[in-house]
Amino acid sequence: SLCAAAEPSLSYQELKDLKKANVLHIDVRERWEVDRFGKIPESINIPLGELMEALQMDPTEFKEQYNQKMPSKSDPVVFSCLAGTRSKQALGFAMSLGFS
């Protein structure tokens, strides 16, 4: 299950379409889950426990750690996890930090 602010839940196809339009896809599963079940192409893995800190990093530090440009507070971001619970928490964290 995938989660986005404007669209609480996305289908696989909707996500594929969004990814063509330069949306940052953050996978909030644990690293062992990504290792075991596979990485979603063009997503970055930031485990939920690291997300608050990551979204408050200096952009240079974020780029070094995650090899990806840090999103601005108005950039489109999609969170995903295994069942949808953590992605909803991730959305709440991001919104509490001022992401729209």
Of 44, 46, 49, nearest to 19 (Cα)? Answer: 44
| Cα 14 to Cα 66: distance, rounded to the nearest angstrom | 25
Percent of the chain with pLDDT over 90: 66
Q: Show the domains of the chain with their CATH numbers.
A: 12-97 (3.40.250.10)
| Cα 77 to Cα 19: distance, rounded to the nearest angstrom | 10
pLDDT in tens, 22-71: 788 999 999 999 999 999 888 999 999 999 999 999 999 999 999 999 99
Which one is catalytic: 46, 48, 77, 81?
A: 81
Bridge-based pairing state of the strands 43-45 and 77-80: unpaired
Average pLDDT over all residues of the chain: 87
3 is catalytic: no
Q: How confident is the model at residue 7 (pLDDT cuts 50, 70, 90)?
A: very low
Q: Which two tokens stand for residue 95?
A: 């919104």
